[in-house]
Amino acid sequence: DAPAIIRRALARALQELEASARATSLGLPVPEMLGLTARRVAPLRWQMEFWSWWIPDSMTFSLCLRGTSLTPESRRLLLGTVGSALRTCHENCLVHRDLNARNIIVMQGGSGWSALVVDLDRASFAGGPLPASRRLRQLRRLYRSLAKEKVIPAVMQPEDYLGLLHDCLGPDYDDRRMRRFLLGSRAAVLWHRLFWR
């Protein structure tokens, strides 16, 4: 039923716009969405494009880590910035359904690094700040994407990820638990490699 398909697609697109508008109004590190356009590309297929302000000199988190020669200090600052951006989202109840290294964009300016979380497709807001278990699920997915794109261990070591964890989870999550999480993430990457092609 074509009208039902179109309604579902439009509802999903509008949900993303609503999530983006709410995140922007809360001051979260997300790009401001301006709207969307939809066009029919086949009898039962539509293509939708979201519009936001142009963000000059930005790149994905993974491309930045792979494509630029960062000093250890600059890498630490970058990871800290990304961790802080994710913590802000988590503390303000944002549930991102596909947190990966391509859905974080970073840029470096005169005042240092800044980061934005993009692609709020199917994103929602929880009733309160995200619990540690939910944050860790998202951070494990991010770790897995960094490994899949060969950022870990080619460019950065798994231990470097601890800095991002510290900035994202805060002082309530002790170092021993973060290291245990890191070991679990490494094991999850090895397990998933059995299915990657």
Per-residue pLDDT tens for 8-61? 777 888 899 999 999 999 999 999 988 888 788 887 777 888 888 889 899 999
pLDDT at residue 112 in the model: 92
> What stretch of H or E contains 47?
strand 45-52
pLDDT at residue 99 in the model: 96
Q: Taking the CA atoms of 190, 185, 131 and 15 in sequence, report the sign of the dihedral they define.
A: negative
Q: Which of 195, 90, 79, 171 minimizes the C-alpha distance to 137?
A: 90
pLDDT at residue 197 in the model: 57
> Six-digit token pair at 95?
């549930």
The answer to whether residue 185 scores a pLDDT higher than 70 is: yes
Percent of the chain with pLDDT over 70: 96
